[in-house]
Amino acid sequence: MRTRRLVGSCAASSSSTPEPTHTSCPTNSESTVTVMSDLITPRGSYINGGWRRSSGSASLELINPATEESLGRVTDATSADVDDAVAAASAAFAAWSATSAEERIAVMNRVAVAVSERAEELSRLQSLQMGAPLVSARAAVQASSNLLRAYMDAANVLSWEYIRRDAWGQSLMRREPVGVVAAISPWNFPLATALNKMVPALLAGCSIVMKPAPEAPLEVGIFGEICSEAGLPDGVLNVLMGGREAGEALVGHRGVHKITFTGSTAAGRRVAQVAAERFARVSLELGGKSAAIVLDDVDLAAAVPIIAGANFGNSGQACYSLSRVLVPSARHDEFVDAVAEVAARHVLGDPLDEATTIGPLVADRQRARVLHYLETAERQGATVAVGGGRPAYLERGYFIEPTVLVGVDNTMTVAREEIFGPVMSVIPYDSVEEAVAIANHSDFGLHGGVFTTDPERGLAVAKQVVTGSIAINRHGTNPSAPFGGVKMSGMGREHGAEGIGSFLETKTYVLPPEMYDSMKASGTREG
């Protein structure tokens, strides 16, 4: 195995190991002005079908992480704004919940068309606010569009009511919306993570108050506009631009019946505590420290690009990143050499440059956090095989080189805690049983992967891993398949019918025999 430092450039290079180019890779300021125009300071939060300024005077600054320059400010919602948004959602709930599933699907279908039409605008906003390369942001917006349509497909086939007769009697079961939903989403995939809350809640017949992350709130505000233009009644979807205080007020609001949150495990714990005080329903999609188990028969040419993408994509800012890679000892050096070559080919720079493959981290505090983990890893005995720090040739921006650590064991901090940066820890093992034990020896259980030339063998190994989802020779999940974690990775599921179901309560009606017979004769589904 060779130990190397990562190099890169702001322009693509034909060499497998590009030479460093000392340039600051400035973001295209003209594009910034065009995209950001009339989107921020004047409008505040989107409540009851229109924009309004906060009732307070505080504001939140949006920073372009590639240039460290201000994009503008949004008003910071107060507890009074939260009250107004919840009141609007409460007032709109009765009429919206009384609509049919078909009516709600029709509205969301118009929304899906509009999202596709505004995909480039939404993609550029993601690049500007949180630093995703434009090519990655476009893929994320496309994934958001796919997610929208997958939820509509699920709503079309979901059994909203069904009857049951057995030796104990006869009943009608109806799935009814839980009520007013409070939703808080993170900044790493601003639109997709928010859609995972808004779309199933709306399809279920709930009204919602959505608070996106203060680092990247603008796409969600645009989505609120899109929904209104598509015919969603005023007050059914409200979007608060705000920080931690607004989030606390929203989660603790007694007018909220269900809370759905995506973020850190520490923040999720606080959400659960506040919700427990009034037994509000809660779904939590939290952190991960997922393992990729590379079996001894693996085809590295096929597996390495997938595993590298699962670590370095979105600058490693993904809860389902495969940040622990478990490799047979006999193939350890071969794997590290192969993945180091992939890491070295990445191009760091201006997210709006089509050649860029890795953008900055979202904020200076996030870069400092990742650097601290790297320092801790080396202090505890790990070695940097590639990357390991800030690229010297980029004068501005919160960049971190894609990094591969070797000499890692599963007790090290870097293997125990979620880093949320482009850092891969390679851990050797000597038997499949040991690999499974290492994978399971974690406080988290969100995702995972098994890589092998024998998918049946891979599935047998995957069944032994304690996690919410796991892929064979792939990374990520399908938008129609349930996604969520076990252990400290959260509770509840998103995506598909299960995702819609998390916003529904099952109400039982005990029927007399003749009513059951009549409902069955009229075609009500038995279940």
Residue located via tokens 């939290």? 286
Q: How far apart are CA 323 and CA 313, in angstroms?
A: 11
Residue 148 token pair: 């929208």
Q: How far apart are CA 118 and CA 113, in angstroms?
A: 9
For every residue of 246-270, which 3-state class applies, written as one string? HHHHHHCCCCCCEEEEECCHHHHHH
- Is 103 marked active-site? no
How many CA atoms lie within 13 Å of 325's alpha carbon, on the beta-carbon side?
A: 33
Q: How far apart are CA 373 and CA 382, in angstroms?
A: 11
Closest C-alpha among 122, 86, 57, 39 to residue 210:
86
| Beta strands 490-491 and 448-451, pairing class | unpaired
What sign does the CA torsion over 88, 90, 91, 96 have? positive
- Is 121 marked active-site? no
Q: How far apart are CA 119 and CA 148, in angstroms?
A: 13
What b/e readout covers 79-95, taking b as 16+ CB neighbours within 10 angstroms?
Answer: bebbebbbbbbbebbee
**Neighbour-count burial of 412, counting CB atoms closer than 10 A to its CB (0-12 exposed, 13-18 middle, 19+ buried):** buried
Q: How far apart are CA 272 and CA 59, in angstroms?
A: 28
Termini Cα distance of the chain? 59
Contact indicator for 490, 483 with CB cutoff of 8 Å: no
For every residue of 14-58, which 3-state class applies, written as one string? CCCCCCCCCCCCCCCHHHHHHHHCCCCCCCEEEECCEEECCCCCC
Contact indicator for 77, 240 with CB cutoff of 8 Å: yes
Active-site residue, from 10, 206, 227, 285: 285
**Neighbour-count burial of 117, counting CB atoms closer than 10 A to its CB (0-12 exposed, 13-18 middle, 19+ buried):** exposed
Active-site residue, from 10, 25, 227, 319: 319
| Beta strands 291-294 and 403-406, pairing class | unpaired
| Beta strands 169-177 and 161-166, pairing class | antiparallel
Supply the residues annotated as catalytic.
285, 319
